[in-house]
A and B are shown apart, each in its own frame.
Chain A
Amino acid sequence: MIGIEDCLSEAMSIPGALGAILVDHTSGMAVAGKGIADPGRAAAGLSEAYRATLDGIAMASQETGFRIEDVIVTTGSAYHLVRPMEMMFDGPLLLCVRLDVERSNLALARRRLRTITDELVAS
């Protein structure tokens, strides 16, 4: 079982990780971050990006009550992985990791991220 700080350290140990941040989606607040230059801005931006994805997929999808497992955005130099975690009374909490596109393995990173989030909320 891990806490918030360990969860970030674990995320940073994913091969190719450049930065990791935990974001409270409701308020758009940076809970904690590592390797992120401006956590406040990053949290606000990632939170909006996730919200837009959620709304867009809700309109495009026939499913009601779907859940987003993760969001992957690829830029020229990096992968951005966003994984939501449902908390028991609020949330979700987003674990966001930026990975070097040259040095990382996307499939591996997704698996690792999933393990980390499972460990954070599993009792």
Chain B
Amino acid sequence: MAAPTLDAVLTGLAKDEATGSLRVGKEGTVYYDHGRVSYVECATTPGVEDLLGASGRISANGVRRARQQAGPGGDGGALLVEKGVLSRGELEFCALSATLDAAFFLLTPKTVRTRFKDGDAHWLGVHWFFDVPGLLRECARRRARLERAWPSAELDACPVTPLRRIPGSHALLSRLQWELLLAADSTATPVELARRLGRPAYSTLLAVRELAAAGLVEKAGHAALPKRTPKPPPASPPAPLAAPVPLAAPVPSPGGPGRSASGLPWVNGDATDVNLLLRLRDALEAL
């Protein structure tokens, strides 16, 4: 008999109002509480333990101790809140964020060996819920969001290499993009960088795609530029990059008229340029 798809297994457990943990292949685990998903772990994404460690609020040892203290079926999250490591709001957001991040990479449509362990619970306890359809819907929405930022998966698994020189005169970066560019060493992939920075893997992937859309990172084979004309994409903050360029008058160099860093002449909608082209055309026609 063919094994059921992962989606079917997930939905089935929700229908049975199961409580326990579902091991998904070798990559991760989905925790259920009365049919709702309370937490998801995935080997490729940083879990709550990593995020807490990277935040600097608590050491890796501290996390381990809290985990031991909570014991099986305990509420490690409540323990951390009690100790003042983080607030309840932060704990809920931490669990929610780690869960969505892991779900994005783990719950892809596939057939995989699964094993359900009844009654098993995560050491953090239950702090936020997702219903299964909602969780799968959010994963799909996030996939679409990535596509909108930069419609190619070519950079997702490649080492991130920032450009030595940027095409425009200045660039606008988000905080995560700044951290990414500093940490990028041309060997680490987005997911590896996420782990290093203690940031969710999805946010990192999105930031890399936005950097690609803004033309700030090397693309594999330079033919990978987007086909459509760059209208301001709603998702990429560095989009205004191109706008100030025409304002910045090129510094006249001894080599001739102003040239951009790429060696191409400045092209813009300036009326004088258009007039020059018209005069040139007229002159050529007159020959």
Residues of A bordering B, CB below 8 Å: 1-4, 7, 24, 26-29, 31, 40, 48, 51, 54-56, 58-59, 87-91, 93, 119-123
Contacts and interface: CB of A to CB of B under 8 A. Distances in A.
A122 B87 contact: yes
B89 A27 contact: no
A2 B206 CA distance: 30
Contacts of B259: none
A89 B49 CA distance: 12
Contact of B86 (A28, A119, A123): A123
A55 B89 contact: no
Contacts of B81: 1, 123
Contact of B138 (A7, A29, A51, A56): A29
B206 A121 contact: no
B138 A87 contact: no
B97 A90 contact: yes
**Chain A interface helix/strand/loop/mixed:** mixed
Nearest to B89: A120
Given A27-B145, A121-B87, A93 B237 contact: no
A21 to B, nearest CB: 15
Contacts of A40: 141
A2 B88 contact: yes
A24 B87 CA distance: 17
Contacts of B92: 3-4
Contact of A121 (B89, B100, B141, B145): B89
Interface residues on B, range: 35 or more
Nearest to A59: B240
A89 B54 contact: yes
10 contacts: A26-B200, A27-B142, A55-B239, A87-B94, A89-B198, A89-B199, A89-B200, A91-B93, A123-B81, A123-B90
A89 B100 contact: no
B203 interface: yes
A89 B94 contact: yes
Given A54-B237, A88-B86, 17 more contacts: A1-B81, A1-B89, A2-B89, A3-B88, A4-B89, A4-B128, A26-B176, A26-B203, A27-B100, A48-B234, A55-B240, A59-B240, A59-B244, A88-B55, A89-B97, A90-B97, A120-B89
Which 7 pairs show the lowest CB-CB distances between chains A and B?
Answer: A120-B89, A88-B55, A123-B87, A3-B88, A89-B51, A26-B203, A4-B92
